[in-house]
Amino acid sequence: MDVIDLVTQEDLRELTALHRQIHQHPELGSDLPNTVSVVSTCLRSLGIEPVFAYGRCSAAAYIGPESAKTTVAIRAEMDALPITEETGLAYASQIPGRMHACGHDAHTAILLTVARVLRRHVRELPCRVKLLFQPGKAGGESGAKRMADNGAVDDADLVLGTQVENTIEAGCIGVRAGSHMAARDSAVVTFHAGGAGADAMQMAVRARAGLETLVPELCGGEAYTFRTESPRAEDPGGAGLELTFSCHHDALREHVRAKCAQLCSAVASDLGGSAETDWQLRVPAVFNDEHLTAAFCRSVARVLPGALRQAPLCGESNDFAFLLRRKPGLIFLTGTRNEALGCTSPAGRSDFRIDEAGMRQAVYALLQFLLDRHG
């Protein structure tokens, strides 16, 4: 089956129109009434009834037979960032201080377009598809974690997602099997002066210097990021030290966590005080299932010959990892870089823009993978 022939010019026009509509009306966090309304209206126009069962301002929907042996969930985020847009686009944000600077508008438009095509060809679909529209990825409590905790992928066998990427040329798809995106931890160390002459701020300063030597030694040749903030004074007579740590392996995370806490306690004890370390895993690492990634690559090669690229190991985190903690799956990168159009800035910047033509490759790749599933 030639997937590209299944996608009409009207589908592609709707893909662009949806992207621009959502881009012009960005909403933040888990307060997304307009975006959820756009998603719901689009689904209902296709004869698909949305489900609102997985948390505030989330939505889901099913396409395909309940009797299918396999259910494939696909995640798309919907929220924007608190940034004032400076792209000069004709369809730029109409709301000051808000901007779709991470491409979530594109992810939502891609998934709705996949739904549009699948609805016409549902009889040819060998699996059941569950569409997941997620709030709250950019800041605050993870919308993916909340949806996972509420059972969003409990009835799925695998889960997919994509991320538009301006380091990859439009027309290309980036994939990486195994470790892909980093876990992100944060910690607060509180130092207490235990007696006369003890100085909690001195403890924090000395611990910070020790940590900045210790962590590189512990990580060796592994990819990681580690940052500490300047110690701050706390009443009464205490001091605080904040740090963040990212890496790709749970064993290394645990090793670094334990050794950092041990060092802080030892420094505090030597100076006549004590230290308490509150270390929190904020986002797990993204690990793409190797067998599913290989199958996805075969599908991409079939529908988009020559488009596959090896995605680099990424030091940033992605809350898609919370879904992967429940079910196997993968996230792939949709290339949207186009220097001629000025689509080169990374996500998170006020001048971030994508080559919209790149979105269609994600549609083709997802459709081919779904149609290649067996039962």
pLDDT score of 265: 97
Residues 104 and 243 placed together within one structural domain of the fold: no
Question: How does pLDDT run across 167-184, given as a tens digit for each residue?
Answer: 999 999 999 999 999 999
- Judged by DSSP in three states, 41 sits in helix
Residues 52 and 164 placed together within one structural domain of the fold: yes
| Mean pLDDT for the stretch of residues 267-285 | 95
DSSP state of 235: T
Residues 60 and 170 placed together within one structural domain of the fold: yes
User: Strand 238-247 and strand 224-228: pairing?
Assistant: antiparallel
pLDDT score of 195: 74
Cα-based distances in Å from 278 to 210, 213, 312, 314: 18, 20, 32, 26
Residues 251 and 228 placed together within one structural domain of the fold: yes
Whole-angstrom Cα distance, residue 67 to residue 329?
Answer: 21
pLDDT at 22 over 60: yes
pLDDT score of 218: 98
Question: How does pLDDT run across 28-66, given as a tens digit for each residue?
Answer: 999 999 999 999 999 999 999 999 999 999 999 999 999
- CATH number, position 330: 3.40.630.10
Of 283, 314, 339, the one marking the end of a domain is 283
Residues 165 and 219 placed together within one structural domain of the fold: no
| Mean pLDDT for the stretch of residues 202-219 | 97
pLDDT score of 373: 86
Residues 26 and 77 placed together within one structural domain of the fold: yes
pLDDT score of 2: 83
Q: Measure CA of the first residue to CA of the last residue in the chain; give whole Å.
A: 17
Whole-angstrom Cα distance, residue 225 to residue 210?
Answer: 16
| Number of domains into which the chain is organized | 2
Question: How does pLDDT run across 341-371, given as a tens digit for each residue?
Answer: 999 999 999 999 999 999 999 999 999 999 9
Whole-model pTM: value is 0.94
Task: Report percent pLDDT > 70 for the chain.
Answer: 99
Residues 195 and 273 placed together within one structural domain of the fold: yes
pLDDT score of 374: 64
pLDDT band of 1, cuts 50, 70, 90: low
Residues 200 and 292 placed together within one structural domain of the fold: no
Residues 173 and 321 placed together within one structural domain of the fold: yes
Of 249, 283, 317, the one marking the end of a domain is 283
Of 232, 259, 283, the one marking the end of a domain is 283
Mean pLDDT of the chain: 96
- CATH number, position 255: 3.30.70.360
Tell me which residue range forms the domain holding 349.
3-181+285-372
